[in-house]
Structure formats: structure tokens, C-alpha cells
Structure 1
Amino acid sequence: MVSRVIPVDPFDLVIFGGTGDLARRKILPGLYRRFLSGQMPEDARIIGAARSDHDDTEFRAMVGNAINEFVDRDKQEKATIAAFLERLSYIKVDARGEEGWKELAGKMRKGVVHAFYFSVGPSLFGDIAERLHAYGMADAESRIVVEKPFGHDLKTAQALNATLAKHFDEHQIYRIDHYLGKETVQNLMAVRFGNMLFEPLWNAQNVDHIQITVAETVGVGGRGGYYDKSGAMRDMVQNHMMQLLCLIAMEPPYAFEPDAVRDEKLKVIRALDPVDPDDIVRGQYCEDEDGPSYFDDVENPDSRTESFIALKTHISNWRWKGTPFYLRTGKRMRARTSEIAIVFKDPPHSIFGEQERQKANVLVIRLQPNEGINLRVTIKEPGPGGMRLVEVPLDMSFKEALGPEAEDIPDAYERLIMDVIRGNQTLFMRGDEVEAAWAWTDPLIDGWTDRGDRPKSYDPGSSGPEDALMLMHKDGRRWREVKA
């Protein structure tokens, strides 16, 4: 199999917050990897913009250090790194003032794609958008990339959308959710809509339930100030997990095109049922020998913000009515894993007797680590002695199935930034999609806030609070084990 790397058009990419953590860890190393792969044109330019005092030489040195730290050693080619760094420059810019904007506008070339990455807090989105417009950089062809959190609730999300809409049309706004750039997430669509095997079974008649798990082994760490105002619901469920749910549940779009895909995702969000308070479990991790408690991490001994949440919801449409969707995510859990499990119903009758009753088929899409797809099926156990059934996996790890080519699968940020340059919004959230997600999320948060609910404690290295297990057990089901 030959990898097809298609170069993008020449571009000027401005990264606001170009010296920040996200730029250092993800954006700039990702751009280097795209340059190494041959996807970035020779005359592409990347401009870092931030409020700190740097010149071009110092900025390039910072990016070189970031490549050294965050790019695999076997991809660190000195000549290529030097050539990449030559395409970088830096301008000190005051997002809320006038310093640097005239100089930045003078750097933008005509006849190339103009993209502006807002790798800054949402409070600066409006200021930057206003100055891009005032200095003539917000033309009809320019594109802006905005990071989550996109709002804190429905009201603030609507305000942000309105602010950006003053100077940019919807087709110019790229709301990035890096989960949608993951190879396996896109493969979910390929599995569903590229194979006759699964799509006819993808409905309430054949699927017993669906589980979505995003578990992390780390605590909130240095993000305590932000996280305690956000919590797992706002930080993970409202965006990342909502997007995964939409891709699982949506109807086939008429084409793999931006609005076709996003129209179907929006229908799913609008069909989500309200969640009963008894079907929500929230938790906070305790202290152990390996780390502090949630209260210590956020420096708030009376915090009622959740570091873990599990919930059950339903989708009221013809395809999914009656099939529960279980979502859970948390910090300081047993293992780092993100997966989607589609659990099919048991056969209506076992011809092999109750003692050999086969287990339900389960299709598991692993997002991390070790991206791949696993289908568990029932077969006869080898050997004599009658018909004994055993469950086995039909396992496809991308690295094993695709060989060395799988090692070169782009990181999510790499893929999504190149999609911005191409002008392809398929894997980005639309404004009405974001607002619909908040409209479903807000009543849940308001409900537990008004009731004064406190999160349950759970041990680090566990699967979360005991009540989360009971959320499944009361329905006669079990969570898939989060394995270390």
C-alpha cells in the first residue's frame, strides 16, 4: 500500500498564542511532521504571534526545542528541521491593543491561503477577530481556527458565535475538536458507511446498548483553576463525547461533505432525551500515595465540581428508540483508554443449550492507545468433546494491519490544520451544533447545581465511584473493564 500525501496550497498561517503550551506541544510539532512528509508547500509560512518579547531567532529556537521534545527521534532530520524553521517568523502582538497589528498585516501575502489559529482563551476571540477586520486581514477567503472551550454554557456560546459572525461567515470558522481528527474516529464512518456488513444491523432492533469511555490516569494537575470551573461534563462530555455519540448514531449523510455530515450530527443532538437525575453519577478522586486529591489539585476544599461523570441517555428517533447510550469519563482512573463499544443483542434462541449460551457480539473501536477495531464473536472451542462455545476477537490493530504505513498516520492536529488550509470543514463543529450541545447539557448541570448534589468519592486507579457500576447493574448490564 502506497501512502498518498497530497500537498496543500501555499499558505500564511498565523498562530495567536504561538509561544503557548498547545502551540509547543501539538500545533508546531504537527506542522513540522507535515513538512517532513512533503505535504507542506515550499513557500508556506508560519507566523507566531503573542505578547511576549521575542525575535525570529528566539522563536525558531523555541520551536526547535519543541520539535526535539515532542517529535519522535527517527523523524528529527537536521536538514529538514532547519528548512522548516526558515519558514517561521514572530511578531509581538497585543490582542487587546494596537501593538504589532500593522506589522502583521504587512506580512500577509496576496494570492495565498490566509489562516489564523486562535490558540488563546475564548475571552480574546472577539478582540482578535475585531483587529483582523480593522487591519484588513479578515477578507472573504481567510479562515480562523478556534479551540475549545467554545463557551461555558448556551448563553456564552451564543455570544461567541455572534461575536465571530460580525467579521467572519460560518464557512470561514473552524471550531476544532481534536477527537474528530483521530484516525479511528474517521474509520468509524468508514466501517459504518463503507461496508454492508454493519449498517443494516446498526439500529435498536439489533443493538442492545452502546458504551463510550474516555478514561485518563492523570489528575487535573496544573489545570486546576480552569477545571474547577468546568468539570468533566463541560470539559469532555459536551464536546468530545458528544461528537463521538453523533458519529455512532447519525443517519448516513448524502455525501462525505461538511454540511451533509454536520446536518446529520445536529439531528442526533436534537433527538437526545433529557437525562433523569438517577441516571447521572458524578465523582471526585481521593488522595493516595501517588498523588493529591481533587480538592488539593484545585485548591478548593468545598468543590462540588466533578472529575468523573457517568450517565445514561436515549435518542428518540426511529433508529435508536429504546437503545441506551452509556457515557463515562474521568481523571485518575485505572488506565488511559478511549473506546466505543457497540454491544449487540443476544441471539433470540440458543440451539446449544443454556450451558453453552453464547455471549453477545461486541464491536469495539479503540481511539487510544493502540488505535484499532475489535469484533468479538462466538466460535466452537477447538478439540473433541462436543459443542463447546468460546468467545474470540477478530482484532485489527492499525499498526499490525497496515504495517510501517500506520506509523506515519498524522496526529489529529496535523490532519485538522491541513483540512483548514484545504477549506474542508467536514471534521469541524458548526455553530448551531455547538449551541444544540449546550442546550442539552445546561439543564443537567443546572439540575445538580440546584439540588446541591455532591460528587461521590472514588479511589485513584479505579473505574470510578461504585454508583457508576450500579448505573449499569440496575439495567442488567456491565461496563467493559478499563484495563491497565
Structure 2
Amino acid sequence: MAERAGEASWANPLRDSRDKRLPRIAGPSSLVIFGVTGDLARRKLMPAVYDLANRGLLPPSFALVGFARRDWDTEDFGKIVHDAVREHSRTEFREDVWERLAEGFRFVQGSFDDPEAFTALAQTLGDLDRQRGTDGNHAFYLSIPPGAFPVVCQQLKDSGLADPTGGSWRRVVIEKPFGHDLQSAQELNAVVNSVFPEESVFRIDHYLGKETVQNILALRFANQLFDPLWSSHYVDHVQITMAEDIGLGGRAGYYDGIGAARDVIQNHLLQLLALIAMEEPVSFEPSQLQAEKIKVLSATRNILPLAENTARGQYGPGWQGGIKVPGLLDEEGFAKDSSTETFAAIAVEVDTRRWAGVPFYLRTGKRLGRRVTEIAIVFKRAPHLPFDQTMTEELGQNALVIRVQPDEGVTLRFGSKVPGPGMEVRDVNMDFSYGQAFTVASPEAYERLILDVLLGEPSLFPVNAEVELCWRILDPVLEAWSEAGHPDTYESGTWGPASADEMLERVGRVWRRP
């Protein structure tokens, strides 16, 4: 009995219960994409569906349905999917896989506020149940602006599409942002949950689908090496960074009024914090993972005063990759008097026995030095060093760095003697790279997440409580910033405004330069 319980606690949600070496295959089902003409659908969703089919993880009865206002028929839709797959799919293009997948394509023309269009969608899905054997199992992917969620959810309810019958299931997939503050998130959750029960709501955070992020759980709980060190006794602080080297890239209309903190810290970075700081779950069942993350987020608070423990900025003109680039306010479509930040940094603490007194520094920004996402656990200095200053002039603090992108892996930084007759100690890195250690290419995040939706596995999806707790942490920061005037300006290609450096220098720390 103990052995079976142990096996269950380490069960991978992608593994079949009969043989954990075999990947689970989705059952009869369809995926309906609202916003199918958008960039996300073209670059991520359609290629991910093909890659799943190419890996044999979709059933022969699977169907893909597009919904949009365009004057298309199913053949036009098929060509759009074909072009997207050819350009963006991760796996090789195989004609036999494509032809089998394309047999399940359908397109429904209409607007979100048109009841007749949803009647036509219901008819299309009914036909797929009879013709393709999708068995009434349908997932609705809302790749649309959050403002359109209420009307689409209401249309799904009024048309009966949200109601499963005869043992089938209906699920809804929502892309971020989940509101723009706590109140709007609560209102949005209420609207969605009035149509779909919480267990049928899948809120996409694509970062949680990345292999390296999932490996945090394996790194922490499968290796006794790290667990004794994973606390305030040995950890000085934690830095979580998501840096981009690009500007808005035509997203001014979306980004203005949202900013870096809402776009990244509220979801991606606070979710990474929860995975780093959580206690070991009883099992890897979704409810157990979510319970531990909720405990962490409930115990997380901002370090005060906010004026000294947060920083924000807008990128100005500068050089990026040898190219002269414009500042934010010169970007096309961006208001000249906008106070929307493109760089945000906050300091928080997790008030638990394990982490009391350890600051977590979260930062994100555009037009920074390079594209990188990493989590750095920086350890305290050794209490006694039997070396004089000349021996350890370059010696820093030990650090365990989890690289999420682009070069996925883990680096351990420690001091080592420099070869030679003298005693000189210098920092060195011990490096693990996914690309070198494993011959199998990592699935794209949306592959994993879409498959989990079809399987009904919510482990990697934030629930209501997580979303609202993240807003409770961020709302006071946003309110303080709204009263603080215009953000600082930083030069494109650098690592953010001077206020971000000052934020750590006040307490004798510095940001890592990834």
C-alpha cells in the first residue's frame, strides 16, 4: 500500500495510469478557437495542435473549429492553418498527418454578439459528434480581448453549448490578462463561473507549460541535495527575472494602460515565486499543487515602503543589437503622455517559517540587455572564510540559477581554487543544459497546455484564488505608482532605470547580469 501511494504521489499528469512510460492520448473531442485570425492562434495554437497530432497524442476523431467574422469557408480556414503550421510548427510536416487532421477542420462565420452564429456553431458541433465521433466533448478557447469574455460566455450559455450532456464535458480556456486589478478579476471570475464551473475553467499561463518551469518541482522534491538549503537559514535572497530585448512590436494598442507589472509580474513571476517557495505537496494531484501555491501567495506581502522597494521605467531611445531603436513614446500608436511602464521591479517577502526574512526580487522589462528568464537562488556567504582579501577578491555568493529561456537549464555557482601555487579562490559555474542532456526536444508550452485541457488535467492552470491573491499583492504597488507621477526613463539595451539598482543597493545587494 505504501509503495502504491508513493507511486501515485509522483505520477506525471501526462502519463497513463496503466503504464507511466506511455504518454496519455486525448479522447474524442474538439477544440473551438475564438479569435482564430489573431497572432496567438497563428503562431502558437494552430502549430501546437498539429504538433500534438504529429506526436500521436490526438485521437482520429479530433476536430478543430475556427470562429471569426471573416468571410471564409472551411477550405479557406484550412489554408490558414496549413500556412501557420508550415511556418511555426515544431515538428516536421508529414502529409499523412496533415490530411488526417484536416478532415476534422470546420469554420463558422459570425460575430460574438450574433446569436445566429452561435446557433450555427452548435449545429456544427452536433454534426461533428455524429460524423467524427467527438462525443459531445468540446473545449472553447477564448483567444480574444478580456472585454469580450462576458458576451462570448453568455452566448455559449444561451445556445446550450456550455452544458454537457450524457457524460460528455465542456471546458473553457481563457488567456491572460485575468482582469486589470482585483475587483475586475473578481467580476470576470464571477461571469465565467456563472456559465462554467471552476473545474471546467482553464486559465492559460504559458510559462507554467515550459519544461524548465515544471522541472522546478523535480529539482526541489526529487533531490535531497537541495531541500536542507531551501530556507532562510541558507538563502540570502531570490531574484526572478523576465527580460525581453524587444520593444512593443506593434502591440501599443494592447500594452498602453496595462504595463509590465500587469502583463508579467501579476501572473508569470508570482507563479514562479509560488513554485520556488511552496512546501512539498502531498501528491502531484492538481488540488494538492494548487493548495500549496495558494498558501504561499496568501503569505506573500510587499516590503515597505513601496517607494524604496519598487521601481518602474519606460525605455528611451538607444542601441539594441547594433541597431538604433526609438523610445517608447516614439513608438507608433503610443500616447506621448503615457505613464505606462515597460520595466517593473518589486520586492516581496513570504511570511512562512521557511522563508521569513528572505526578500524575493521580481523584475521584468522590455528593451533590456538580452532576452532571458531565470530564477536565481542566492545563498548567504560562508560564516567564516579562512582566506585573506587577496585570496577571495573576486569571490561572490553561491547561487543556483534556473534558466527558463532561452537556453533552458540549471547553473550552480560556487567558489573554486585557481590552479597554481597560491591559494586564490574564484567563482566557477557547474552547468546543466537540457539541449545537451536529453536527445528528445522539449514540447512547446502550448502543446502541453492544450493537451492538458483535452485531458481535463488542471495542474498547470491557476485557479480563481491564485489569480485574486496575485492581484492583492500587486494592487497596492499599482496604486502607489498611479500617484507617483511619470516613470523613470532608461536607455534601450541597458538593464533598466537607476531606481532599480538603488532598490537593491540600499540593502547591500545587486541585480544579477544574466
Fold-level match, TM-score > 0.5? yes
Asked if structure 2 preserves the Cα contact closer than 8 Å seen for 1:48 and 1:90, the reply is yes
CA distance in 2, matches of 1:117, 1:299: 29
CA distance in 2, matches of 1:363, 1:18: 41
Partner of 2:183: 155
String of CA shifts for 1:256-283, please: whole Å, max 9, x gaps.
Answer: 1112111211122221223422111111
How many residue pairs get aligned? The number is 475
The percent identity for this pair of structures is 43
Aligned amino acid, residue 401 of structure 2: V
Change (3 A) 1:149 1:136: same
- Which aligned pairs between 1:155-304 and structure 2 lie closer than 5 A? 155-275=183-303, 276-288=306-318, 290-297=324-331, 298-304=333-339
Q: 1:366-385 maps to which residues of 2 (within 5 A)?
A: 366-382=403-419, 384-385=420-421
**Which of 136, 146, 161 lines up with 2:160 in the alignment?**
136
TM superposition shift of 1:65: 0.8
Query: Contact conserved, 1:185 with 1:367, CA < 8 A, in 2?
Result: yes
- Per mean C-alpha deviation after superposition, the further-off stretch among 10-19 and 344-353 is 344-353
Deviation at 1:4, TM superposition (A): 4.4
Deviation at 1:100, TM superposition (A): 2.0
Residue 492 of structure 2, aligned match among 428, 440, 460: 460
Match of 1:434 in 2: 467
**For residues 402 and 269 of structure 2, what CA distance do their matches in structure 1 show?**
14
Q: CA-atom RMSD, angstroms?
A: 1.7
Please say if residues 378 and 389 of structure 1, whose CA atoms lie closer than 8 Å, have aligned partners that are also in contact. yes
Q: 1:17, 1:293 → 2: CA distance?
A: 30
SS across alignment from 2:302: coil
Are 1:11 and 2:29 counterparts?
yes
Find the aligned partners of 1:200 and 1:32 in 2 and give their Cα distance: 43
Matched with 2:93 is 76
Task: Decide which of 96, 110, 114 is 1:93's aligned counterpart.
Answer: 110
Q: Secondary structure at the match of 2:350?
A: coil
Q: Does 1:67 align with 2:85?
A: yes
State the shift of 1:390 in Å.
3.0
Structure 1 residue 351, shift from structure 2 partner: 2.8
- Could you tell me which residue of structure 1 aligns to residue 11 of structure 2? none
Q: Specify the alignment match of 1:397 in structure 2.
A: 433
Partner of 1:46 in structure 2?
Answer: 64
> Match for 2:424 among 381, 388, 401?
388
Deviation at 1:151, TM superposition (A): 0.5
Which secondary structure does the structure 2 equivalent of 1:393 belong to? strand
Q: Are the equivalent residues in 2 in contact too, given 1:92–1:99 (CA < 8 A)?
A: no
2-structure distance, mates of 1:399, 1:441: 35
Give the structure 1 partner of residue 140 of structure 2. 116
Report the alpha carbon displacement of residue 363 of structure 1 after superposing the two structures with TM.
Answer: 0.6
More divergent stretch after superposition (94-103 vs 57-66): 94-103
- Residues 62 and 101 of structure 2 are in contact (CA less than 8 Å); yes or no, is this contact kept in structure 1? no
Q: Is the 8 A contact 2:302 2:347 kept in 1?
A: no
Which letter maps to 2:31? L
Q: Distance in 2 between matches of 1:420 and 1:192?
A: 26
1:445 aligns with 2:478: yes
1:416 and 2:449 matched: yes
SS of equivalent to 1:355: coil
Cα distance in structure 1, aligned partners of 2:379 and 2:53: 43
Q: Distance in 1 between matches of 2:391 and 2:77?
A: 65
- Segments of 5+ residues of structure 1 without an aligned counterpart are none
Scaled by the length of structure 2, what TM-score is found?
Answer: 0.89
User: After the TM superposition, which of the residue ranges 207-216 and 255-264 deviates more from structure 2?
Assistant: 255-264
SS across alignment from 1:133: helix
Whether 2:364 is the aligned partner of 1:329: answer yes
Post-superposition CA distance 1:456-475 (Å, at most 9, x none)? 11111111112211222222
Secondary structure class of the residue paired with 2:85? helix
Read off the aligned partner of 2:95 and give its amino acid letter. K
Structure 2 unaligned regions, length at least 5: 1-19
2: distance between equivalents of 1:461 and 1:75? Answer: 35
TM-score normalized by the length of structure 1: 0.94
Query: Structure 1 residue 118: deviation in Å?
Result: 0.7
Equivalent residues in 2 for 1:312-351 (5 A)?
312-351=347-386
Greater CA deviation, 230-239 or 441-450? 441-450
Q: 1:469 aligns with which of 489, 495, 501?
A: 501
- 8 Å contact 1:310–1:468 — kept in the other structure? yes
CA contact (8 A) 1:210 1:325 kept: yes
> 120, 125, 142: which one pairs with 2:149?
125
Deviation, 1:111, is 2.5
Residue type of the partner of 2:74?
D
SS at match of 1:28: helix
Letter of the structure 2 residue corresponding to residue 290 of structure 1: K
TM-fit CA distance, 1:112: 4.9
In 2, distance between residues paired with 1:151 and 1:217? 26
Query: How big is each residue's C-alpha offset from its partner over 1:6-65, in whole Å with a ceiling of 9 and x where there is no partner?
Result: 322121111111222111010010111111111111111111111211101000001111
- Which secondary structure does the structure 2 equivalent of 1:84 belong to? helix
Using the alignment, how far apart are the partners of 2:213 and 2:136 within structure 1? 31
In structure 2, the residue matched to 1:57 is 75
Q: Is the 8 A contact 1:5 1:38 kept in 2?
A: no
Q: 2: CA distance between counterparts of 1:238 and 1:87?
A: 37
Decide whether aligned partners of structure 1 residues 3 and 368 sit closer, same or farther in structure 2, where only a CA change above 3 A counts. Answer: farther
Give the CA deviation at 1:139: 2.2
SS at match of 1:366: strand
**In 2, distance between residues paired with 1:300 and 1:79?**
49
Q: Which residue of 1 aligns with 2:13?
A: none
Determine the C-alpha separation between the residues in 2 that align with 1:52 and 1:64. Answer: 17
AA in 2 matched with 1:397: S
Letter in 2 for 1:291: V
